[in-house]
Structure 1
Amino acid sequence: MERKQQSGPNRGERGERRDRRNGPPSNAANDGKPELDTKVVDIARVAKVIKGGRRFAFRALMVVGDNNGKVGLGTGKARSVQDAIKKATERARNNMTSVNLMDHTIAHEVVTKHGGSVVLLRPASPGTGIIAGGGVRAVLQAAGVKDVLTKQLGSSSRLNSTFATLKGLQQLKNINEEARRRGKDVADVQPFWRRSNVRSQQ
């Protein structure tokens, strides 16, 4: 007596069903928004004194950038870490600003202060990399800087040094504006590895 084999979906059909169940690819969830580099710079537990005690929450510091001259910072507070990160990321997106970069680095040296933190940014030759750490490095990477020298002075607060770095990037001018500001020729304010090329073209 022969047993009848039940017909079922073949592997291809099962694969198609599985694909439909999993939904569209992950990049379709961006709703047409450009893909941005998002980094968590700092998570801190904070307390607010209220009548009857203290209320605890989390503060997140996020940096968002397109790795091509646009970067933003944002902070957010919430009862949970996830909600704090979400708020901070949204604010960072809304605060994105354009900065003047020159090829792989910055056009000129700049020193900025935020709170008790002082940050110095200096142009660097190709292959140097980002000589920085913490929030300073995160901001520079998100902005698209490839080579730069940095130095931190004063307070070691990650929050303050991160915002000081963003201030520095916002104060950058293109090389022609910087030359006019100093009252010098463009060749004289160029980074040292570009001066000979600029003079030969003049």
Structure 2
Amino acid sequence: MLALGRSFAKLSVIPAARITATRAYATVGDKKLRHPALNKDNVPDLSKVDYILDHPTEKPSTLEQQKTFTPHRPPEVVMNTVTDIIDTPLSAPEQARLMKKALVVKRVVNMNGKGKQPSMYALVVVGNGNGLAGYGEGKDEEAARAVRKATNRAIKNMRYFERYDNRTLPMDLTHKFHATTLELRARPPGFGIRTNHYVHEICKCIGFQDISAKVRGSTTPMNVIKAAFEALSNTKQPEDIARMRGKKLADVQHVYFGGN
């Protein structure tokens, strides 16, 4: 072969493209190619520059189009996107002014066919301090995203809780949730909030100022929080009790009807 007959000293000064072309010609001349239409005349001369193939035009012939599958994820695209402002009757400024309390943030493990799958669990209580409050739960691989999911669900689950004189309960309550028994008591003005620390945060979000509570049985944070919301949600107002008993409600302290 012509390329193999040269010495290594001579090959060092021959351009690489010329060596490739010489080998291609030698291969065509010595061996029988598989494709019958390919012969020595059809093999391109690699020692010469092809101005079409070797130098593509600077301007593409087609319009610039974004690739459907990008090689990497853009920084602005995040999986499971959760926004701070959600679709609720509350406006964006009102949502920003809400009190948000992440009462429970812990690591949990879910067992499935792939084995143990760890994730973060969060329970958040939100409220405006004026009778409107709610709680929500969220799970995600990251704690911050779990808290954000729980916050959004808490805002969606917000409801109004009636307060006697805008400071306390209308009556004492006792509620049982699974193994947790919660006792809530109405207190006179200036008493303050003397409760379990989880119930204390709930009362601050709702707007209670004078209240006491006692937790009996299981003190699991999730049970205590859910028991408090269920107890306050099932509270019967004095006018409801009077209607059931067929009595007339007299507003002696001018709390309900704003009398003089």
Which TM-score bucket, shorter chain as reference?
Answer: 0.7 to 0.9
8 Å CA contact 2:175–2:182 kept in 1: the answer is yes
Higher relative contact order (CA 8 A, sep 6+): 1
Give how far 1:102 is off.
0.8
8 Å CA contact 2:196–2:213 kept in 1: the answer is no
8 Å CA contact 1:136–1:162 kept in 2: the answer is yes
Structure 2 gaps, min length 5: 1-90
Give how far 1:117 is off.
1.0
Identical-residue share of aligned pairs (%) = 30
Q: 1:184 to 1:120 in 2, by over 3 A?
A: farther
Query: In 1, Cα distance between the equivalents of 2:171 and 2:100?
Result: 26
Query: In 1, Cα distance between the equivalents of 2:103 and 2:244?
Result: 34
Residue equivalent to 2:177: 114
One-letter amino acid of the counterpart of residue 36, structure 1: L
Structure 1 gaps, min length 5: 1-29
8 Å CA contact 2:194–2:213 kept in 1: the answer is yes
Larger radius of gyration: 2
Output the TM-score relative to the length of structure 1: 0.73
Larger helix fraction of residues: 1
Query: In 2, Cα distance between the equivalents of 1:131 and 1:110?
Result: 15
What's the secondary structure of 1:142's corresponding residue?
helix
Larger strand fraction of residues: 1
One-letter amino acid of the counterpart of residue 171, structure 1: N
Q: 1:182 to 1:164 in 2, by over 3 A?
A: farther
Residue equivalent to 1:48: 110
2:127 pairs with 47, 65, 75, which one? 65
Residue equivalent to 1:33: 94
Q: 1:184 to 1:44 in 2, by over 3 A?
A: farther
Residue equivalent to 1:84: 146
Residue equivalent to 1:177: 240
Tell me whether 85-94 or 137-146 shows the greater mean CA deviation.
Answer: 137-146
